[in-house]
A = this chain, B = another copy of it.
């Protein structure tokens, strides 16, 4: 459970002290955030497709209909869960790297943060994986708003990598680097979560460092 305080007049905070809602937030808004956080934890454990009203309501200690009233549909809820997870991703993985001014080091810092996230996304329980990545594969062939949202996130993610590469390794081919870096993360996820490979991190990092040393070159 991420959310601690609920009372009005107090600032709503999470375990790591982030401020979500100001002191004058209405109760509905507070519950909404609570729902989204719990739903993200559920999605993290069992995939976005497992975010269903009944079990989610039970985890929250509220009724299905009370929960449902906060969203127009289940699909809308799922899309918002993805957005919420993306927020957390930005806070945990992306925001901290701005402190690093050395560009190549910044790229490396991003990659390690990302691997940390893949291993332990900051979404409650601590048990599950990244729901956004899971959604990418779950909905890559299923048209609809969930897929659209997933594609949007992935596009922004690729842009981020491309920018990091552009300033860190100006001579490298950016698109090929995006493919290689993105791939290392995806493969890392499978080796950690599906295979339970204890050495996954070492192998991933070795491949990453070799990639930085000899990147695919522009126009090659």
A residues near B (Cβ < 8 Å) are: 44-47, 49, 127-129, 133-134, 136-142, 147, 150-151, 154-155, 158, 173, 175-180, 182-191, 193-195, 199-200, 203-204, 206-207, 209-211, 213-217, 220
Contact = CB atoms under 8 A, between A and B. Distances in A.
B128 A141 contact: yes
Contact of A147 (B178, B186, B194, B211): B194
A141 B127 contact: yes
B194 A184 contact: no
Contacts of A173: 203, 206
Contact of A183 (B139, B147, B183): B183
> How many copies of this chain are found per oligomer?
2
A139 B189 CA distance: 12
21 contacts: A46-B141, A49-B49, A127-B141, A129-B140, A133-B137, A140-B189, A140-B193, A150-B194, A151-B195, A176-B204, A179-B184, A179-B188, A180-B187, A182-B187, A183-B183, A183-B187, A183-B188, A210-B215, A210-B216, A211-B211, A214-B214
Contacts of A193: 140-141
Given A184-B180, A190-B186, A210 B220 contact: yes
Contacts of A49: 49, 138
Given A47-B141, A179-B184, A213-B214, 16 more contacts: A45-B141, A49-B49, A49-B138, A134-B137, A138-B138, A140-B193, A154-B195, A173-B203, A176-B203, A180-B183, A180-B211, A183-B188, A183-B207, A206-B220, A210-B216, A211-B211
Contact of A137 (B127, B137, B154): B137
B190 A140 contact: yes
B134 A138 contact: yes
A46 B138 CA distance: 8
